[in-house]
Structure 1
Amino acid sequence: MRILILAIGRLGRGPEADLVRLYLDRATAAGRALGLGPVEQVEIEPRKPGKAAEAEAILAALPERAVLIACDERGRTLASRAFAGRIEALRDQGERTLVFVIGGADGLDQTVRDPARELLAFGPQTWPHALARVMLAEQVYRAVTILSGSPYHRD
């Protein structure tokens, strides 16, 4: 199952971009044997500012029949094992593409939240978008290691 992180904005160069690449590369390498991957990032630059324009760009970039999980402050928080279980269940159901979406500074428009299978939150704190992307990439990698039985995750 292909896994995408679709995010508004570009990280450019810097430690956050390096960490995202590191975790996505690790998740891709470790996930091959599990039927997970590639794990990739797609950065979107909308032509106009605002949530509506961002939503239009996000929806246009979604692969057909992809399962959409929207990262949103109103979403549910999941422990790492539960997060891994969600990914495993989708893979086992035969889903071909899983897309996590991270919106811009003002969050996601309702037109992106509505078709999402689930809303995922990183807790009640507000996080910079660059760090949210790093945290999501790390959790995808952690999920892959949990599913593979690696000792990376400790309860």
Structure 2
Amino acid sequence: MKLILAAVGKLGNTPENTLTRDYLSRATLSGRPLGLGPAELMEIEPKKTAKSQDSTLNKAREAEAIRAALGEGVCLITCDERGELLTSRQIAQRVDKMKDSGERKLAFLIGGADGLDAELVKSARFSLAFGPQTWPHALVRLMLAEQMYRATTILGGSPYHRD
């Protein structure tokens, strides 16, 4: 099952982007023997325009861009402050269950500054929260990439993870 971290916006050459890509590379290497991977980063251009201060409209435009970039047949997990608080092991178990159910592509979504479109969130398999704090998008990408890597190591039986 292909793993995608899809995020609205581009980070450029930053330490967070370098670490995000490193964790996705690690997830690819540790996930391949399990049928998980490759793990890749997909950056989607924000759709906010100077003419539109309507966050609902901006989120709907970004949702269209996300759907177009991901294509058909992708299982979605959204990052949302109202999502579920899951342990690393619970995330790994859900990823494994999706793989075993025949999903071919799994995308973890991070929205733009206004968040994700409500309809996109509703269409997701589930929503994941990183707690009640507000996190910079660059750090959310990094934390999510690390959790994708951690999921592959947990499923591979690596002692990397500690309960």
Give the TM interval when normalised to the shorter protein. over 0.9
Give the equivalent residue in structure 2 for 1:19. 19
**Secondary structure of 2:109's aligned partner:** strand
Aligned counterparts of 2:47 and 2:94: Cα–Cα separation in 1: 33
* Aligned position for 1:117: 125
CA RMSD of aligned residues (A): 1.1
| Whole-angstrom distance in 2 between the partners of 1:98 and 1:56 | 18
Matched positions, count = 155
Q: Structure 2 CA distance, aligned partners of 1:54 and 1:127?
A: 20
> In the TM superposition, what are the counterparts of 1:86-101 in structure 2 within 5 Å?
86-101=94-109
Runs of 4+ in 1 over 2 A off after TM superposition: 46-50
1:152 offset after TM fit, Å?
1.1
Residue 47 of structure 1 deviates from its aligned partner by 4.3
Q: What's the secondary structure of 1:78's corresponding residue?
A: coil
> Which residue matches 2:64?
56
Q: CA deviation at 1:62?
A: 2.2
Counterpart AA for 1:116: A
Matched, 1:66 2:74: yes
Q: Give SS of 1:114's match.
A: helix
Secondary structure in 1 matching 2:80: strand
Residue in structure 2 matching 1:85, options 84, 93, 100: 93
CA distance in 1, matches of 2:21, 2:46: 22
Offset of residue 149 of structure 1: 0.9
TM-score between both structures, scaled by the size of structure 1: 0.96
Same amino acid, percent of matched pairs: 63
TM value normalised by structure 2 = 0.91
Q: Distance in 1 between matches of 2:47 and 2:71?
A: 20
* Structure 2 spans left out of the alignment, 5+ residues: 50-57
| Unaligned 5+ runs, structure 1 | none
Which residue in the other structure is 1:130 paired with? 138
